[in-house]
Chain A
Amino acid sequence: MVSPESDWEGVRLHVVTGKGGTGKTTVAAALALALAGEGRRTLLVEVENRQGIAQLFDAPPLPYEERKVAVGPAGGDVHALAVDPEEALLEYLDMFYRLGRAGRALRKIGAIDFATTIAPGMRDVLLTGKVYEAVRRTSRGRPVYDAVVLDAPPTGRIIRFLEVNAEVAGLARVGPIRGHADSIMALLRSPQTAVHLVSLLEEMPVQETVDALVGLVGARLPVGGIVVNAVRAPLLRQADLTAAARGGLDREAVAAGIAAAGVGVRPAAVDALIAEVAEHAERVALEKSERRTLKALGRPTYELPLLAEGVDLGGLYRLAEQLCRQGMA
């Protein structure tokens, strides 16, 4: 398969965010598939305790363990991990401090629960820490994963989430936590990371995309591409759309065409169909202006088609193929 050079050569961590409901998880999963080229291995990580990945890949709920969930269209492996903050903390304590029994004692007195649910930002520290570890992990001198795709929190919380380690660095002026937080921040601010924004051609998601982009730039986080999800294929010619929006479609001509199709509908249904076209035309016009707004941001933009039947595994491969073809992977 000849694929064009990826726009994100050199990026090891792809962070995928977007307004709730825009299809972040779907896009992240499709990207992980797309990046799993021949002989490559990608890791898809979720951090929001939703088990969205398992649902998409038709797999049983993921434990806190990296598991192979799919084979990419070009033959690479896609692994997935649902990060559980408590387990991540125990793992972290064990790795850095060899706490063993004392670690379990911390859990018993509620320290682990405290740390993962109440302590300021600790949950996000652990989640980003685990992602960092997966990106940095090596085996026989080479990275275990060629790319890590993070199904991240939504745009409303993404900057806080990614910047949490800078905040920790502010709290912990010295000590082991400080050092760890600094290295995570360094990765997140480096050209090895790209924060991609998922949007729909609707006003609110586009507005959030614009706001998030400004915020990311302000926070010195590397902005990636914009993925426009659930795009409908244009079915009508522009002239017909314009006429439909004005309520000026030739009813007789439409009725004659539909009669010729032999679907046997009553005249009232013809009016209903024309009303559907008018609504569609209004939507297309709105989409056009939203697309202009996104274009004006000047970022690489990718478009994924709306899958009318909903997203299943077959649909994910279709989306992955689109991302490859458009140069995102």
Chain B
Amino acid sequence: MTRREPRVGLDLDEVIADRATGIVVCCGAGGVGKTTTAAALGLRAAEQGRTVVVLTIDPARRLAQSLGLEALDNTPRTVKGIDEVNGGSLDAMMLDMKQTFDEVVIAHSTPERAQAILDNPFYQSLSSSFSGTQEYMAMEKLGQLRAEDRWDLIIVDTPPSRSALDFLDAPKRLGSFLDGRFIRVLMGSAKTGGRAYLKVLGAGLGTMTAVLTRVLGAQVLKDLQAFIAALDTMFGGFRERADSTFQLLQARGTKFVVVAAPERDALREASYFVERLREERMPLAGLVLNRVHVTGAASLSAARAAAGAETLEEARKHPLATAILRLHAERMRMIEREQSLRRRFTAAHPRVAVVDVAAQPGDIHDLDGLRVVGAALAGR
């Protein structure tokens, strides 16, 4: 006896039509089509009447061009060519991580201190190359866009991280670092608690500084201390912002859309993310499964198609039909594998709504292409 598995469908039209939805975060492993998903969803929402801004992190060139974005300039620009009949609009922007960080520093510091920070080699390295900075700045920018209050829906693409979870962890990590004991040690005994703590450890402050000097070299330690001294005044501001952004992600108007492709690694990342969102009580809308292969001839199985191709080959007839059957057999095997991965995910997460987006033969370069993806996202 076969029992049909219950399938929970994801209706993204419902998500974007709900005026209470103020933020949609698209997350997932790299290379699964997050940015395209974010852009397509933004366009669809705008054409249905929402005032939308899409924050992209690192879009492919032609996708960016299709949104009218030529350079990453940190400013939302109006996307031309959308259907405005329902009164909506679409803005898009690309994140400039360093500029965003600089602005945070300037906003939270006196001009002299800000300059000292901007000039410090540690800051320059942190702001342009630290692997968590992009995540942190994406969150910062999200907070800024929200504060501007010009849009009723913000759609965020997430950075191509080592792991999808970095996006949630990086801001917190920065926050905990800024509060950390290590900072106090570096800053010397000026802060109460540092010395007492080290006594407990049985290593005097002098020893610790000596060790750090040995490891880092005196010059590095000096630059680092100067950097931290300059940042010191901003700690409160940083922490507050990291906390409030995190709360924003837990708020009712926020929805997470986890994006994956029907591949083992991408779905494993998606699983981690789904579990993590539950732990953090962050509202998950569902899973977008991109690049799913489909067929109009599902009744012809891979095995039968392959057997048919063999029959024709043996008879040395109909080479075209033979090739077509082989092609179909290949596609069916691919579909079987994808479906088995999909079943594995839904078995582990039966309550996560899923929507499939069929694989497109080519890439998306224009608004029409995005509209096709948008319709697929809405299950249309």
Contact = CB atoms under 8 A, between A and B. Distances in A.
Contacts of B177: 110, 113-114, 117-118
Nearest to B185: A109
Contact of A172 (B220, B318, B362): B220
A282 interface: yes
Contact of A261 (B132, B198, B318, B337): B318
A85 to B, nearest CB: 11
B60 interface: yes
B299 interface: yes
Given A273-B328, A276-B328, A283-B361, A117 B173 contact: yes
Q: Is the interface of B mostly helix, strand, loop or mixed?
A: helix
B323 interface: yes
Interface stretch (A29-37, A48-56, A184-192): A48-56
B276 to A, nearest CB: 15
A102 B211 contact: yes
Interface stretch (A9-17, A200-208, A221-229, A316-324): A200-208
B30 A204 contact: no
A21 B318 contact: no
Contacts of B218: 175
Contacts of B300: 263, 265, 269, 273
A272 interface: yes
A170 interface: yes
A254 interface: yes
Interface stretch (B66-74, B84-92, B250-258, B260-268): B260-268
A79 interface: no
Interface in A22-65: 22, 25, 48-50, 52, 55
Nearest to B170: A117
Contacts of B130: 118, 120-121
A48 B162 contact: yes
Contact of B182 (A110, A153, A256): A110
Given A20-B30, A157-B131, A174-B219, A272 B321 contact: no
Interface in B206-254: 207-208, 211-212, 214-220, 223
Contact of B317 (A49, A97, A203, A260): A260
A97 B160 contact: no
Contact of B31 (A21, A120, A178, A276): A21
Among the interface residues A249, A265, A274, which one has the most CB atoms of the partner chain B within 10 A?
A265
A177 B320 CA distance: 65
B201 A257 contact: no
A256 B308 CA distance: 13
B331 A286 contact: no
Given A21-B29, A120-B126, A93 B215 contact: yes
Contacts of B126: 118, 120
A257 B266 CA distance: 39
B62 interface: yes
Interface string A248-268: 010001101110111101101
A236 B30 contact: no
A167 B125 contact: yes
Most chain A CB within 10 A, of B31, B185, B312, is at: B31
Contacts of B160: 20, 154, 156-157
A104 B359 CA distance: 51
Interface string B314-330: 01011111111111101
Interface string B286-327: 000000000111011000110111011001011111111111
Nearest to B362: A286
A240 B331 CA distance: 18
A87 interface: no
Contacts of A153: 162
B125 A120 contact: yes
A285 to B, nearest CB: 9
Contact of A271 (B197, B203, B296): B296
Contacts of B265: 25, 50, 52, 55
A121 B129 CA distance: 7
Contact of B320 (A123, A254, A286): A254
Contact of A97 (B214, B307, B319, B327): B214
A261 B129 contact: no
Nearest to B329: A308
26 contacts: A19-B30, A19-B31, A20-B29, A21-B31, A21-B32, A55-B265, A105-B201, A109-B181, A109-B185, A109-B197, A110-B180, A118-B132, A120-B129, A156-B160, A167-B125, A176-B215, A240-B320, A257-B320, A260-B315, A261-B311, A263-B308, A263-B325, A269-B299, A276-B295, A283-B362, A286-B362
The 7 closest A-B pairs by CB, nearest first: A257-B321, A175-B217, A21-B31, A20-B30, A272-B296, A257-B318, A261-B308
Given A49-B163, A117-B177, 8 more contacts: A21-B31, A110-B177, A257-B317, A257-B322, A272-B296, A273-B324, A276-B297, A276-B324
Interface of B: 29-32, 58, 60-62, 121-122, 125-126, 129-132, 160, 162-163, 173-174, 177, 180-182, 185, 197-198, 201-203, 207-208, 211-212, 214-220, 223, 261, 263-266, 295-297, 299-300, 304-305, 307-309, 311-312, 315, 317-328, 330-331, 333-334, 337, 361-363
